[in-house]
Amino acid sequence: MPESIARDDGLRLIDCRITNSVKCVPPENKPLPVEIQTCNRYLKAETRTFKQGMVLLGLGSVGHHALLRALGLKPTQYRFAHGAEHELATGQRLINSYHCSRYNTQTGRLTDAMFEAVFARARELLDAQPAVRV
Protein backbone atom coordinates (compact mmCIF):
# COMPACT_ATOMS: atom_id res chain seq x y z
CA MET A 1 0.00 0.00 0.00
CA PRO A 2 1.43 3.42 -0.91
CA GLU A 3 2.60 5.57 1.97
CA SER A 4 3.05 9.31 1.95
CA ILE A 5 6.41 10.38 3.34
CA ALA A 6 6.62 13.99 2.20
CA ARG A 7 4.42 16.75 0.83
CA ASP A 8 5.97 16.43 -2.63
CA ASP A 9 6.11 12.61 -2.85
CA GLY A 10 3.51 12.49 -5.64
CA LEU A 11 0.70 10.81 -3.73
CA ARG A 12 -2.71 12.45 -4.02
CA LEU A 13 -5.98 12.24 -2.14
CA ILE A 14 -8.74 11.06 -4.48
CA ASP A 15 -12.37 11.74 -3.55
CA CYS A 16 -11.16 12.70 -0.10
CA ARG A 17 -10.75 15.71 2.11
CA ILE A 18 -9.27 15.67 5.61
CA THR A 19 -10.22 18.04 8.39
CA ASN A 20 -10.00 18.08 12.17
CA SER A 21 -12.51 18.93 14.84
CA VAL A 22 -9.73 20.48 16.96
CA LYS A 23 -7.19 22.64 15.18
CA CYS A 24 -4.38 22.35 17.72
CA VAL A 25 -2.68 19.46 19.49
CA PRO A 26 -3.93 19.56 23.07
CA PRO A 27 -1.94 18.17 26.01
CA GLU A 28 -1.85 14.36 25.94
CA ASN A 29 -3.77 14.63 22.64
CA LYS A 30 -7.06 14.72 24.58
CA PRO A 31 -9.02 17.86 23.76
CA LEU A 32 -11.05 19.52 26.47
CA PRO A 33 -14.70 20.35 25.77
CA VAL A 34 -13.83 24.07 25.61
CA GLU A 35 -11.18 23.37 22.93
CA ILE A 36 -13.65 21.35 20.87
CA GLN A 37 -16.28 24.08 21.19
CA THR A 38 -13.80 26.86 20.36
CA CYS A 39 -12.67 25.10 17.18
CA ASN A 40 -16.17 24.11 16.09
CA ARG A 41 -16.69 27.43 14.32
CA TYR A 42 -13.83 26.55 11.95
CA LEU A 43 -15.32 23.13 11.27
CA LYS A 44 -18.73 24.73 10.74
CA ALA A 45 -17.23 27.04 8.11
CA GLU A 46 -15.75 24.02 6.34
CA THR A 47 -19.07 22.16 6.37
CA ARG A 48 -20.62 24.94 4.31
CA THR A 49 -18.65 23.54 1.36
CA PHE A 50 -20.01 19.99 1.86
CA LYS A 51 -22.18 18.80 -1.01
CA GLN A 52 -25.25 16.56 -1.03
CA GLY A 53 -24.27 12.91 -1.33
CA MET A 54 -20.86 13.25 0.26
CA VAL A 55 -19.69 10.44 2.49
CA LEU A 56 -18.24 11.71 5.76
CA LEU A 57 -16.08 9.68 8.13
CA GLY A 58 -16.14 10.59 11.80
CA LEU A 59 -13.05 9.36 13.62
CA GLY A 60 -13.87 8.75 17.26
CA SER A 61 -16.75 10.11 19.26
CA VAL A 62 -15.06 13.52 19.49
CA GLY A 63 -14.95 13.86 15.70
CA HIS A 64 -18.43 12.40 15.32
CA HIS A 65 -20.06 14.79 17.79
CA ALA A 66 -18.09 17.84 16.61
CA LEU A 67 -19.11 17.22 13.02
CA LEU A 68 -22.77 16.86 13.92
CA ARG A 69 -22.67 20.10 15.94
CA ALA A 70 -20.96 21.90 13.07
CA LEU A 71 -23.70 20.71 10.73
CA GLY A 72 -26.37 21.93 13.16
CA LEU A 73 -27.59 18.39 13.90
CA LYS A 74 -28.40 16.88 17.28
CA PRO A 75 -25.81 14.28 18.28
CA THR A 76 -28.53 12.39 20.20
CA GLN A 77 -30.18 11.54 16.86
CA TYR A 78 -27.02 9.90 15.49
CA ARG A 79 -25.41 7.45 17.90
CA PHE A 80 -21.68 6.82 17.62
CA ALA A 81 -20.54 3.24 17.12
CA HIS A 82 -17.71 1.80 15.08
CA GLY A 83 -19.00 1.02 11.59
CA ALA A 84 -22.33 2.78 12.15
CA GLU A 85 -23.82 4.59 9.15
CA HIS A 86 -26.14 7.56 9.34
CA GLU A 87 -28.17 9.32 6.66
CA LEU A 88 -27.86 12.95 7.75
CA ALA A 89 -30.66 15.48 7.44
CA THR A 90 -28.14 17.71 5.58
CA GLY A 91 -27.90 15.25 2.67
CA GLN A 92 -24.66 13.47 3.47
CA ARG A 93 -23.96 10.01 4.83
CA LEU A 94 -21.81 9.67 7.96
CA ILE A 95 -19.80 6.55 8.75
CA ASN A 96 -18.16 6.18 12.15
CA SER A 97 -14.88 4.58 13.13
CA TYR A 98 -12.95 4.35 16.31
CA HIS A 99 -10.14 6.89 16.20
CA CYS A 100 -6.86 5.47 14.90
CA SER A 101 -5.02 6.53 18.05
CA ARG A 102 -2.14 4.55 19.45
CA TYR A 103 -4.31 3.48 22.38
CA ASN A 104 -7.04 2.05 20.14
CA THR A 105 -4.65 0.29 17.78
CA GLN A 106 -2.28 -1.11 20.42
CA THR A 107 -5.12 -2.49 22.55
CA GLY A 108 -6.81 -4.09 19.53
CA ARG A 109 -9.95 -2.03 19.93
CA LEU A 110 -9.33 -0.93 16.34
CA THR A 111 -7.59 -3.41 14.07
CA ASP A 112 -6.21 -2.77 10.60
CA ALA A 113 -9.00 -4.93 9.16
CA MET A 114 -11.69 -2.93 10.99
CA PHE A 115 -10.24 0.38 9.80
CA GLU A 116 -9.83 -0.82 6.22
CA ALA A 117 -13.42 -2.14 6.20
CA VAL A 118 -14.75 1.33 7.07
CA PHE A 119 -12.83 2.88 4.18
CA ALA A 120 -13.93 0.09 1.84
CA ARG A 121 -17.55 0.81 2.79
CA ALA A 122 -17.05 4.53 2.14
CA ARG A 123 -15.63 3.66 -1.29
CA GLU A 124 -18.66 1.42 -2.01
CA LEU A 125 -21.02 4.26 -1.12
CA LEU A 126 -19.13 6.71 -3.30
CA ASP A 127 -19.03 4.31 -6.24
CA ALA A 128 -22.79 3.67 -5.98
CA GLN A 129 -23.75 7.29 -6.65
CA PRO A 130 -23.10 10.01 -9.21
CA ALA A 131 -19.76 11.76 -8.84
CA VAL A 132 -19.56 14.16 -5.92
CA ARG A 133 -16.32 16.11 -5.94
CA VAL A 134 -14.83 17.33 -2.67
Q: Residues with Cβ < 8 Å from 91, sequence gap 6 or more?
A: 51, 52, 53, 54
Tens of pLDDT, residue by residue over 36-77, are 999 999 999 999 999 988 999 999 999 999 999 999 999 999
Query: Taking the domains of the chain in order of start, what are their residue ranges?
Result: 51-127
| Whole-prediction pTM | 0.85
Q: How far apart are CA 103 and CA 131, in angstroms?
A: 36
